[in-house]
Amino acid sequence: MTDQLGTGLLSGKNLLITGIITEASIAFHVARLAQEQGANVVLTGYGRLSLVERIAQRLPRPAPVIELDVTDKAQLDSLADRTRDHVDGLDGVLHSIGFAPAAALGGSFLDCPWEDVATTVHTSAYSLKSLAVAALPLMTSGGSIVGLDFDARQAWPAYNWMGVAKAALESVTRYLARDLGPKGIRVNLVCAGPIKTMAAKSIPGFGDPGAAVVLLGLATIVFDQPWLTLVIAYGFIARVLTGPRLSPLGQFVTRVLTPRLAFGERPVAGPPKRFAQGIGVVFSVTAAVLAVGFGDTTAAYVVLGVLVFFATLESVFGLCVGCKVFGVLMRIGVIPEEVCESCNDITLRRTPAGGAV
């Protein structure tokens, strides 16, 4: 790393980077490191460009943002001209794009309709070819195209048609390398492994404790074991503070329950999910205080029953009530947009220019 921008390994290089959604996005840190090494960076965004532009301001140098839906031919055809407004050519392109409808990612692999499969493959695999062809007029001196991959050698739980798309992405990369190599353009994929990005949170079973809350809460009430309210409360507190690493509920779901059950879930961004977990803290701590602190198990079980009800809606029907409340509060201005750059409407998660998965 250099102390001064513009004098590093990438000094004078121009890069086009797709897929920034939040500061947790892999693409954001690629852009940050590239700028620190002297590169000029142009970002692409899809949907609410103002949100991507706000994230771009948090880079070492504010970067220009141009709109790009990689499934839109008109936008692809005009990409080179719009990029030339900011740089005279490209030395590198980062493809950090992936999307799958809920039926294709976490739903039934056998029942997923072709329309959802087509969307998944188009956005997550074919788009690498589309992006490469669109950027080609700017890469007359050669360069490098890099995509983000996930291990497609085996069948992962819940990954389903996104796993198929990743296998297709790897094949697309080989053929692109064959055809673009003679032009001096390298094409490679980087497999980062499981990272807590927004895209990872979109994968059902990524440490969601909802099902465990249902089972543990019912056991507490049915078998009259008030001390279990302490376990539930600790699980929610640990989940909010550290994620699933120190949460017994998160560990139970990740290691035990998820491989055995196939609850349908809906992709949810990080901030609304943490908001919902914060509500879980309030309910679970209240139940624990009533049960253990005051010995009022009746009141405690009523509070716990409400928590179990909402956890059932989420784990069985994919309805995160706390996330819905978060969305409403954001729309009426109580929660600022910058709290969740990717989810002004968390029920609409189609982000073809989205994060790496």
**Using N-to-C axis directions, what is the helix angle for 270-288 and 321-331, rounded to 10°?**
120
SS3 per-residue string spanning the chain: CCCCCCCCCCCCCEEEECCCCCCCCHHHHHHHHHHHCCCEEEEEECCCHHHHHHHHCCCCCCCCEEECCCCCHHHHHCHHHHHHCCCCCCCEEEECCCCCCCCCCCCCCCCCCHHHHHHHHHHHHHHHHHHHHHHHHHCCCCEEEEEEECCCCCCCCCCHHHHHHHHHHHHHHHHHHHHHHHHCEEEEEEECCCCCCHHHHCCCCCCCCHHHHHHHHHHHHHCCCCCHHHHHHHHHHHHHHHHHHHCHHHHHHHHHHCCCCCCCCCCCCHHHHHHHHHHHHHHHHHHHHHHHHCCCHHHHHHHHHHHHHHHHHHHHHCCCHHHHHHHHHHHCCCCCHHHHCCCCCCCCCCCCCCCCC
Annotated active-site residue in 166, 183, 201, 273: 166
- Tokens matching residue 112: 């997923």
Active site residue 175: no
Annotated active-site residue in 13, 46, 129, 159: 159
d(CA 182, CA 61): 34
Active site residue 234: no
d(CA 306, CA 309): 5
Residue from 190, 179, 5, 10 nearest 95 by CA: 190
Residue 238 vs residues 114, 220, 242, 278, 280: alpha-carbon distances, Å: 40, 20, 6, 11, 11
* Positions marked active-site: 159, 166
